[in-house]
A = this chain, B = another copy of it.
Amino acid sequence: MHSVRFTAETSSDGVVERDFTVGEVPGVLWSPVSGSGSVSGRAPLVLLGHGGGQDKRAPGMVGRARRLVTGCGFTVAAVDAPGHGGRPRTAADERQIAALRQAMAAGEPVGPIVVRYNAELAERAVPEWRATLDALQELPEIGAGGPVGYFGLTMGTAIGVPLTAADPRITAAVFGVFWHDSLTEAARQITVPVEFALQWDDEHIPRESGLALFDAFASKEKTLHANAGTHMALPRFEADSAVRFFARHLGRAGTSPA
Contacts and interface: CB of A to CB of B under 8 A. Distances in A.
A219 interface: yes
A92 B164 CA distance: 54
A159 to B, nearest CB: 24
Nearest to A196: B226
Q: Which of A224, A225, A228 has the most CB of B within 10 A?
A: A228
A223 B226 contact: yes
Given A237-B248, A248-B237, A225 B223 contact: yes
Contact of A226 (B214, B228, B241, B248): B214
Contacts of A226: 214, 223-224, 226
A221 interface: yes
Determine chain A's interface SS by DSSP, over half rule: mixed
A223 B219 contact: no
Interface size classification for chain A: 10 to 19
Interface string A204-235: 00000001001100011111111110000001
Contact of A228 (B200, B211, B221, B244): B221
Contacts of A228: 219-223
A227 B222 contact: yes
A186 to B, nearest CB: 18
Contacts of A223: 225-228, 235
Contacts of A237: 244, 248
A211 B214 CA distance: 14
A240 to B, nearest CB: 8
A244 B223 CA distance: 17
A112 B226 CA distance: 27
A72 to B, nearest CB: 15
